[in-house]
């Protein structure tokens, strides 16, 4: 039950890709922060909603996943540099692993992550796909 309450509390961040921007140094971060890692306590942060577009900065293909993700392996996971400058780690979907290249433009999509068998709760989250 605790996870369900935590999930509902974080819905805006989960479905809108919200991070933080430091008004002192201009750095942007994902996930949201309460202290700027660059300025430390000197920085003042505000929420920023990312547009969901970016480029593949680096990637790897997972061939030996945990039991929870064996049914989708192999699958690519990438570091995405968002248009606003923050970097985020995410799965790349809707493509063959051979078609992924560093520098490719990608866009945010929301997909099913897993279904909790005991409670029947379906978890959704962000992933990225090639931009058309």
pLDDT in tens, 65-115: 888 888 888 999 999 999 999 999 999 999 999 999 999 999 999 887 777
Question: H-helix or E-strand containing 109?
Answer: strand 105-115
- Tell me: do 62 and 87 sit in the same domain: yes
Predicted confidence (pLDDT) at residue 117 exceeds the cutoff of 80: no
Q: What is the pLDDT of residue 60?
A: 97
- Tell me: do 58 and 75 sit in the same domain: yes
Neighbours of 115 (CB within 10 A): 10
- Tell me: do 36 and 17 sit in the same domain: yes
What domain range is 22 assigned to?
1-49
Domain count, the chain: 2
The string of pLDDT tens digits covering residues 36-70 is 988 887 778 999 999 999 999 999 999 998 888 88
At 117, list the tokens: 């068998």
Q: Are strands 87-93 and 122-130 parallel, antiparallel or unpaired?
A: parallel
Q: Say which residue, 22 or 5, is predicted with more confidence.
A: 22
Q: What is the pLDDT of residue 13?
A: 57
At 49, list the tokens: 């909603």
- Tell me: do 56 and 41 sit in the same domain: no
Q: What is the pLDDT of residue 40?
A: 80
Contact present, 20 and 28 (Cβ < 8 Å):
yes
């Amino acid at each position: 039950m605790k996870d369900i309450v935590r999930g509902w509390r974080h819905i805006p961040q989960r479905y809108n890709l919200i991070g933080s921007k430091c008004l002192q140094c201009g750095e942007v971060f994902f996930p949201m922060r309460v202290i700027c890692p660059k300025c430390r306590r000197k920085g003042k942060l505000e929420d920023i909603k990312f547009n969901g577009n970016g480029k593949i900065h680096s990637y790897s293909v997972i061939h030996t996943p945990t039991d929870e993700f064996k049914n989708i392996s192999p699958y690519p996971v990438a570091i995405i540099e968002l248009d606003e400058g923050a970097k985020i780690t995410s799965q790349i979907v809707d493509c063959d692993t051979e078609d992924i290249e560093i520098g490719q433009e990608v866009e945010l999509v929301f997909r099913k992550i897993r279904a909790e068998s005991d409670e029947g709760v379906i978890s959704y989250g962000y992933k990225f796909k090639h931009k058309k």
